[in-house]
Structure 1
Amino acid sequence: MPKIVALHELSQEQIHRIEDAAPEYEVISGKYKELPSGTVSGADILMGWSGAAAEEALAENSQVRWIQVWSAGVDRMPLQELDARNIQLTNASGVHSIPISEHIFAFMLAYARNLHQAVRHQSRNEWDKSGIFHELSGKTAVIIGVGQIGSAAARIAQAFGMKTVGVRRSGKDDPHIDVMYTTEELDQALGQGDFVINILPLTEETKGLFNADRFAAIKEGAFFINVGRGPSVDTTALVDALKSGHLAGAGLDVFEEEPLPADHPLWNMEQVMLTPHTAGDTEHYNERVMDIFVENLKAFVEGSPLPRNVIDYERSY
């Protein structure tokens, strides 16, 4: 009997959904270290991933043909090895559109209405009305990496009366982006933003993309948001742009080094808001990943191409 192995505990409801979609498959779930040796290599489909399971999943005798990971980013996956073994890889892209777009606007609204300073004053029992209070209406949001999350963020931005500028590899139009640029035109787009929002995946092309030159291209006084990948930003260059005042502030959820070291200067910069890589977290996470997995599973069982979130190994996303 073919097997589906989940590297975490599944609820009975989740197991029933899988069994309904693939009645000929045995479903096994549990943490890797608790599973008998050979369970992963004997799986046809693997749900989840861990470094501990990698050796077995990629072993010569492994039967794994498809891996569904629980994250959107796959930059830490052994993509070359998976490609060489003809293992299909699907991610959780689409799960994050709502929580991350809302997280982006949490940063933007907090900055615009000076809430980050108000919270600091509250912690010190200070009644302080100083500061500049902005409005999002009439401002320009530049969204770097327009996919599902970027499109969702742009839709919200338009509802606030903002102009939306997008950057994506193809330059393909999006209904919620007023002006779209290709990645080759990145600097031209950066110069227009009051808010610059990085949602890029991590690839060889995006690693360190936001360096001193990129920050210099951003309009002076802009607010920078990173909810993409930490290593796409040169942190030293970011700190320098903040210290000089070229950037008015930043909202950061991801970092080159995680956890962010306790002595890092970003912690104590009052114009910076930090969250510990939680922008994509939501109480609905697992059910949304299951929706993606079950839709793909039905196609897999029928021998049809997987319809959602298949990773292109050449592009690394």
Structure 2
Amino acid sequence: MKPIEAAAVVRYTREDGLAEALRGADALFLYDFLSTALRAAWSAADRLRWVHIASAGVDPVLFPALRDSDVVLTNSRGVFDDSIAEYVLGVILAFAKDFARSVDLQRQGRWLHRETERIAGKRVLVVGTGPIGRTIARMLRAAGMSVSGMGRRARDDDPDFGTVYSSAELTRHLSGMDYVVAVAPLTEQTKGMFDAEAFAAMKPGARFVNVGRGELVVTSDLIDALRAGRPAAAALDVFDTEPLPPDSPLWTMEGVLVSPHMSGDVIGWRTTLVELFAENFQRWQSGRPLRNVVNKQLGYVPSGD
């Protein structure tokens, strides 16, 4: 942040001091990207022109007053694409190769020969066709998997997915998939899209991966569906309540992999987030177009989908 400190008055604050720090501020770097404090402090934003959030998802700050204002909102799109794609490939391999059971058997000192699955040729539906979804698609295709996408509009000539289905037809296309990866942004249209009906449409043996937002899923419906075997397993990196409550059945359910919202967090990610903001600050200061400008009505940075 030193180059920025040399060019501007910089105030550092925690949530409880945000309102005071916002008075007279032109720009806000929301480094705590899970914080919802901006809504409560919004009335103090008397000259704010730009908000940058240190995440790809912008739902914590898309309250009506900001959405309807002239304040420009940018995000950190591009920082997490490769690492989240690696996470998705990793958990798919973990399921196919039964790594969790191998670790359990090793701890028990048991030699139990088993057969495992190939991932090549398995069908994957990636729900969310933004940059992260596209990177996931390319990585899974490189591993030999058959990947299709789901977005706002259907098409058959997408360079990364080939076929993209309309999200309005989610349940129709779930039944033929071996893996379903949720990476859609959280909007009014996507909230709760994975509910009892969606899980019932999955075929026996399917696996579900959520690296998007916890609120994409109706958690109670997912728990019931896992108990019924549709999906057969789930890798969950995000939850509607975080941290995941200690009494959640998801902690101990067989076939469930829980990680604490870390799929994109690789060594050096915090530095990369600051560097992206610093580059955007230089653009803003010189009057050049900002990177990653969010369409506040859609809830994400448009990318042709």
TM over 0.5: yes
Match of 1:126, as an amino acid? R
Mapping 1:255-294, distance limit 5 Å:
255-294=239-278
Q: 1:127–1:313: structure 2 CA closer, same or farther, 3 Å change rule?
A: same
Query: Counterpart of 1:155?
Result: 138
Cα distance change, pair 122–128 in 1 and its aligned pair in 2 (3 A): same
Matching residue of 2:154: 171
CA offsets, 1:80-134, max 9 Å, x none?
111343111111121110111111111101001000111222333333334x511
Write the distance in 1 (CA, Å) between the matches of 2:207 and 2:15.
44
- How far off its partner does 1:51 sit? 4.5
Residues in 1 aligned to 2:45 and 2:162: alpha-carbon distance in whole angstroms: 52
1:202 partner amino acid: L
Unmatched runs of 5 consecutive residues or more in structure 1: 1-13
Q: Following the alignment from structure 1 to structure 2, what is the Cα–Cα distance between the partners of residues 254 and 36?
A: 26
Residue equivalent to 1:133? 116
Q: Percent identity, please.
A: 38
- Tell me the equivalent position of 1:44: 26
- 1:1-317, aligned counterparts within 5 Å? 14-16=1-3, 18=4, 25-32=7-14, 38-48=20-30, 50-52=35-37, 55-56=40-41, 58-59=42-43, 62-130=46-114, 132-171=115-154, 173-306=157-290, 308-317=291-300
Shift of 1:54: 5.0
Give the paired residue count. 296
Question: How many Å separate the matches in 2 of 1:34 and 1:254?
Answer: 26
**In 2: Cα distance, 1:213 partner to 1:100 partner:** 27
CA distance in 2, matches of 1:29, 1:119: 48
In structure 2, do the counterparts of structure 1 residues 297 and 208 end up closer, same or farther at CA, with 3 Å as the change threshold?
A: same
Matching residue's letter, 1:193? M
| CA separation of 1:216 and 1:36: change in aligned 2, threshold 3 A | closer
Amino acid at match of 1:99: S
Offset of residue 61 of structure 1: 5.9
CA contact (8 A) 2:22 2:44 kept: no
Asked whether the equivalents of residues 112 and 134 of structure 1 are also in contact (C-alpha less than 8 Å), the reply is yes
TM-score, normalised with respect to structure 2? 0.88
Question: Which amino acid is the alignment partner of residue 149 of structure 2?
Answer: G
Q: C-alpha distance in 2, partners of 1:96/1:154?
A: 14
- Residue 215 and residue 71 in structure 1: after superposition, are their counterparts in 2 closer, same or farther (change >3 A)? same
| CA displacement at 1:315 relative to structure 2 | 1.5
Where does the alignment leave 5 or more consecutive residues of structure 2 unmatched?
301-305
Structure 1 stretch 80-89 or stretch 47-56: which is displaced more?
Answer: 47-56
**Greater displacement, 164-173 / 93-102:** 164-173
Q: Deviations over 1:46-68 (max 9, x none)?
A: 11154456544x23562211011
Structure 2 equivalent of residue 8 of structure 1: none
Query: 2:234 and 2:205 mapped to 1: Cα distance?
Result: 11
Equivalents in 2 of 1:232, 1:34: separation in Å? 29
Specify the code of the residue in structure 2 equivalent to 1:15.
Answer: K
Tell me by how many angstroms 1:202 deviates. 1.3
Taking structure 1 as the reference length, the TM-score comes to 0.85
